[in-house]
Structure 1
Amino acid sequence: MGQWGDGGMDDWMNGRVPTFHLPALTPGVLLREFGEARLLVANLKADDIAALVCILRERAVWLRAQPMQRVIAALTEAAQRWLAEGSPYMRTTLDLLPRITGYSRPVIEHQLRHLLTQIIPDALKNLLSENEPPFPHHLPLVTCHLSLVTQFCAGNIPGLGIEAILFPLLAGTPTFIKASSGEPLLAALFADSLSDVDAGLGECLAVVWWEGGNRELELAACQLADVIVATGDDHTIEALRRLAPPTARFMAHPHKVSVGLVGKGYLTPETAAAIAKDVALFDQQGCLSPQVVFIETPSQTSAEECAREVRTALQGIDSKFPVGSLPISEIAGLQQSLATLEMSGALILRTSGICSRSVALPNASSPPTAYLRLRGGVFLQRIEDVSEVRHKLVAFSDRLQAVGTALPEQELANLTPFFYTLGVCRICPLGEMQTPPLGWCADGIDPVAGLMSSDHQT
C-alpha cells in the first residue's frame, strides 16, 4: 500500500498516516492535528516546492507520450481497489475523514462510492469525447502542450481531491496539488493508490499540505504553472490570482450557493424526502447545497404545513445520513442565529438531538436570509406564484451554482433560460442536487477541456 500502512485505526492512533505524495523527494515530516486526527505532513520549504514543480514539468513529455488507454486503465483500476471489499484505502479513509471533517461516516461513504463507481472506462472516455480522437490514439499534440497544472483544493466536500487527480491526467498534464487546509488526506491517499497501480503515472502527481496563506510556498507552486485552479473564498482566490504568472490560465471556483424551487401542489412526502436528502448530504457546506427552497403555496398556513413536512423528512433521514459533529462553539453560534430568526418572526422547526437539523420559515417581516447557512438545516421561502422566483433570485445572481426543482414541465422550460442568465450551471430534480455526474461543469468550466488549452483566461 505504498507509503501508507494498512493498520487503519492503529495508524491513526499512533500518528503514522502521511498526507503527502511526492515524486523523487523524501521530506522531513511534522505531526499535526486535524479535527480529532493526528497526521503526518511534509515539512517543505519554498526551494522544495520549486524543485517539485520542475520535476513535474519534466514528466509532461513522458505523460504526453503515453496512450490515453493506459491512463484510463490505471484510474479505473485504482478506483476498483478502493471499492473492493476490505480495501485498506477505503478503510483508512472511513476511519479518518469523519474525525478530520466532522461529517458522519455514512455521508462520506455515500459520496465516495458515488464518485468511485463513475470512474469506469466509458465515463472517462466520455469526458474526452470532444477533445480527442477515438481510442487508443494519444491526445492530439495541439491540446497537449501544457506542462503543469497547479491546484489549490477545497476540502468541504469529500471526493474533490480525487477529481483533482483525475482531470489533469485525462488532459495529459502533470499536476501539483496543495491539499485543503482542513482536509489533507484524500488526495494524497488516492495518489498513492494510483501509484501502486502505475508508478509512472504516480510520478506525474505531487500532493502536499501546508497552512493556508503561506505566500512564499504558494508563489513557488504557481511560478511555473500553465494553469492554476483555485477553490475557496473570495479572499483566498484573489490572493492566489495575484501570484499567477501573466502567461498562466487562472480557473477560479469561488464560494457559491444553490436553491430549490417547488411548484404548487408538488410538495408531496416524496418531494420533502428529496429536499431532506439534498440538505443532509454535507450539512449544507457545499456549493450544491440548497440554502433556500422556494415553495409556491397560497398562504402562510399552508407554508407552515410544508415546513413541518420537511422537518419530518429531515428527522427520518437522520438514521441514513446522520448530521455531522460540530464544536460546541459552532453549535452555540447556530442556536443563537436560530433564536435571532425566531425573535424576528420566523417559524423554526428543529429535529431532535444536540446536533439537530432545522427548518426556518421566515414571514414577510423577517430580514433577508439569502447567505446565512444553516448547518444541516434549510430555509423555506413562501411564494404565491412561481414567477416570483425571478425577483427573489436576483440576490443570488453572482453566487448561484444550481437549482433543484419539483415543477410542472412547462414551468421549468419557461424558467430555464432565466436560470442560465444568472450563471446557474446545474438544473436537476430535487434529491439529485448533491450527486452530479463525473466531470460536470462547476462554475461553467469544463474540468478536462479547461486544462487542454494554454489560452490566458481569468
Structure 2
Amino acid sequence: METELIEAYYVPESIKLTDFRQESIQVKGRKYTVKYPELTAEHIEEIGASLQANRKDYLAQLTTNEVVDKIDQAIQLWLNPNYRLRRIADALIPAVTGYDQDMVRLELKRYMRTFRKKELLRFLDEEFDQPAILDDFRPRKSGGMSRAYGPNTIFHLFSGNVPGVQLWSLIMGLLLKSAAIGKTSYSEPLLPALFLQSLKEVDERLADAIAILPWKGGTESLDNMAVNWGEAVIVYGSNKTVAEIRKKTPIHKKLLSYGHKISFAMIGKEALTADHYSDTLHKLAEDISIYDQQSCLSPQCVYVEQDGVVSPKQFAQGLAAELSRYHKKRPRAKLTGEEAMSIQNFRNEHSLKSLQSQKTAVYSSKDDTAWTVIYHEEPSFSGSPLNRSVHVYAVDRLEEVADHFQQWESYLQSCGLAVEPARLFSLANILGAAGVNRFSPIGEMNRAKPGWHHDGGFNLMELVRMVDLERDLEYGLEKYDSDVE
C-alpha cells in the first residue's frame, strides 16, 4: 500500500529537527504517516531566533497590501477542490478529529473563503480608518501623524476542537507583520501546518516567519520558553488553560485570551408559522450539529416564544426529529468515556425532573448519545455538555429573557435570531447590555464574518502599539528647514 508522509509541523528551512515520532492513519485504502517533532526548550529558542531574523529581513519590509496579496494567493490554492494539500486535509482532518467527512469538507471550503483578498481588506478597514497606518505615519484628523506597530513576535496557543480557528489568528499576526510560533493541539495539528506549506509555495520567505509546533499542553519548559519569546500572547482554550497562561505572562506583554463562552438562539413566534417553521428547525439543527457544538458560537440554549402556530414543546419535539435526521446524514464524532458519561448524567438529571413535573421533557437518541433535547416550560439559562445536546426554554416574550443572564454576563457569546425586523434593535439593545457581543441569523451562527469583534473586542487594534507625532512638532520643526522663509 502506498504511504504518504505528512509533517504535522512547520519550521523555517534553516532549522533542522532530528527527533520525531510517527503515527500511521489509513483512510479509504490510502496510508498516511503523520510526523511529529520531539521538542525541547532549546528547540523553541533556536526556532524563535530564526523567526525573528526572518521577520526583520523580510516580513517587516513588506507593505500590508503585499502581505494581503500573498495570503490571497495561498487561499486561492485552497479554493481548488483538487489542490493536493486540500485533498489531504479533507481526508485526514476527519480521521484525526472524528468529525464527519462531508461536514469538514463543506465547512473548510466556506471558512477558507473568509480569507480572500476582498475579505482581508474589509477586515483591515474595519479596524483602521487607513490600513496604511501599519506601513507608515499617516495624518490624523485632529492633526499630527500616527503609525501602528504590531508586536515583533506572537505566541499563539491553540485549542484543537474546531478545525481552522488557528488560521484566523495566524493571518491576523501576518497582517501585523509579526513573527509567530503557533502551538497546536495533538487533537488537530494538521491544518495550520498544511496552510504554511501553501504559503511556502507562494513565498517561502514569508512562510519562514512562522513556526507551527505541536506539543502536549502544560509542558512547562516549552510553554515558558514560548511565552517569554512572544511580545504578545494569544491563547484559545478552556478557562483553566487561559488562567495558566495568564499566570505565566508578564504584565507588560499583551495577552488576548479566548476562553469558555456560551451562545444561544431565540425563536420568535413569527418564525413559527407554517411557512417558516420547518426551515427554522433545519437551520437551527445545523447550528447545533456543526463540529458537534465544540465552537463557542454554537447554541447550547434555545428560547422559543409562546403563541406561535406550534408550541415551544412541539418545537422541541421537531428539533429532536431534525437532529435525528442530521445525525443520519452526518454522524457525530465518537466520544471519550468521560464525554459520553457527561451526556448520560445530563439526561438522567432531567429525566428525573420530568418524572416529577410535566414542565420538563427529555427527547434523545435511542441506544446512544448522538443527540439530546431537554424541554423546559420555565425559562432559565444553562450550558450543556455539548456534542449535540441542547436546552429548549419556553418563554412568553423574548424581551424578558435577559433577566436570566445576570450571573452569566462574562460567558455570553453569540445569539442567533429568528424574529421580525421590527424587534431586531430592541432585542439587540437589551441583550447587548446583558453581555451578548454578536448577533447572527439562525443557520449562520458558526460562520462569523471577517472583522467581527471577537468576544466584543478588536482583533488587530488590541495588539498594536500606536506612535504619535504631535501637530506642534510638525510645525515647530519648520524653522530648522534651511530654505524656510
Structure-1-length-normalised TM-score? 0.88
Partners of 1:72 and 1:190 in 2: CA distance: 15
Give the one of 264, 269, 287 matched to 2:296: 287
Cα deviations across residues 162-216 of structure 1 (Å, max 9, x unaligned)? 2222111111211111112421111111111111211011111011011000111
Name the count of aligned residue pairs: 440
Q: Distance in 2 between matches of 1:419 and 1:59?
A: 46
Task: Give the counterpart letter for 1:256 in structure 2.
Answer: K
Q: Which stretch has the larger CA shift, 211-220 or 21-30?
A: 21-30
Which residue of structure 1 aligns with residue 75 of structure 2?
79
Give the Å deviation of 1:363.
4.3
Q: CA separation in 2, counterparts of 1:377 and 1:322?
A: 14
**Alignment partners' CA distance in 2, 1:51 and 1:424:** 42
Structure 2 residue 96 is matched with structure 1 residue 100: yes
| 2:363 counterpart of 1:361 | no
Q: Which amino acid aligns with 1:257?
A: I
Alignment partner, residue 128 of structure 1: 124
Identity among equivalent positions (%) equals 23
- Determine the structure 2 residue equivalent to 1:389: 401
2:347 corresponds to which residue? 338
Determine if contact 2:242/2:257 at 8 Å carries over to the other structure: yes
SS for the counterpart of 2:269 is coil
Indicate the residue corresponding to 1:25 in structure 2: 15
Q: Offset of 1:60 from its aligned partner? A: 3.1
Match of 1:288, SS state, is: coil
Q: Could you tell me how far 1:372 is from its partner in structure 2?
A: 2.4
Contact 2:384 2:390 (C-alpha < 8 Å) held by counterparts? no
* Greater per-residue strand proportion: 2
Question: CA separation in 1, counterparts of 2:381 and 2:433?
Answer: 22
Corresponding residue to 2:259 among 249, 254, 263: 254
- RMSD, matched Cα: 2.7
Q: CA deviation at 1:243?
A: 1.5
Corresponding residue SS for 2:156:
strand
For residues 407-432 of structure 1, what are the alpha-carbon distances to aligned partners after superposition, in whole Å with 9 as ceiling and x for unaligned?
22233311212222233221111111
| Structure 1 position 50 matched with structure 2 position 45 | yes
Match of residue 348 from structure 1: 362
3-state SS of paired residue (2:462): helix
Q: Contact 1:20/1:188 (CA < 8 Å) preserved in 2?
A: yes
Amino acid at match of 1:110: L
- Offset at residue 351 of structure 1 (A): 4.5
State the distance in 2 between where 1:257 and 1:205 align: 31
* Contact kept in structure 1, 2:302 and 2:390, CA below 8 Å: yes
* Structure 2, gaps ≥5 residues long: 27-31, 138-146, 355-359, 468-485
- Supply the AA of the counterpart residue of 1:10: T
User: Which amino acid letter does the alignment assign opposite residue 181 of structure 2?
Assistant: F
CA distance, structure 1, for counterparts of residue 332 and residue 400 of structure 2: 32
Q: Aligned to 2:223, which of 215, 218, 223?
A: 218
Which residue, out of 407, 424, 428, partners 2:436?
424
Q: Distance in 2 between matches of 1:369 and 1:94?
A: 37
Match of 1:207 in 2: 212
Q: Deviations over 1:204-252 (max 9, x none)?
A: 1011011000111111101132211011112211111122133210111
Summarize the Cα distance change of 1:376–1:359 in structure 2 as closer, same or farther, 3 Å threshold.
Answer: same
Does residue 444 of structure 1 match 2:456?
yes
Cα distance in 1 for partners of 2:176, 2:459 equals: 9
Residue aligning to 1:159: 164
Bigger-Rg structure (1/2): 2
Confirm or deny that 1:412 pairs with 2:424.
yes
CA-to-aligned-CA distance 1:123-180 (integer Å, 9 cap, x gap): 1112222437477x97236323521011101121111122222111111211111112
Pairing of 1:317-332 with structure 2 (within 5 A)? 317-318=326-327, 320-327=329-336, 330-332=339-341
Q: Find the aligned partners of 1:398 and 1:70 in 2 and give their Cα distance.
A: 38
Distance of aligned partners of 1:144 and 1:427 in 2 relative to their CA distance in 1, 3 Å threshold: same
Are the counterparts in 2 of residues 296 and 385 from structure 1 also a CA contact under 8 Å?
Answer: yes
Alpha-carbon distance between aligned partners in 1 of 2:224 and 2:172, rounded to the nearest angstrom: 23
The alpha-carbon distance between structure 1 residues 369 and 344, as it changes in their structure 2 partners (threshold 3 A), is farther
> In terms of mean alpha carbon deviation, does 234-243 or 438-447 score higher?
438-447
Q: Per the alignment, in what secondary structure is the counterpart of residue 230 of structure 1?
A: strand
Change in 2 beyond 3 A, CA 1:17/1:342: same
In the alignment, residue 88 of structure 1 is paired with which amino acid?
Answer: R
Partner Cα separation in structure 2 for residue 149 and residue 74 of structure 1:
20
Q: In structure 1, what is the Cα distance between the partners aligned to 2:62 and 2:281?
A: 49
Q: Distance in 2 between matches of 1:60 and 1:422?
A: 42
Q: Distance in 2 between matches of 1:56 and 1:121?
A: 25
Distance 1:67 1:369, change over 3 A: closer
**In structure 2, do the counterparts of structure 1 residues 265 and 134 end up closer, same or farther at CA, with 3 Å as the change threshold?**
closer
* 1:400 paired residue number: 412
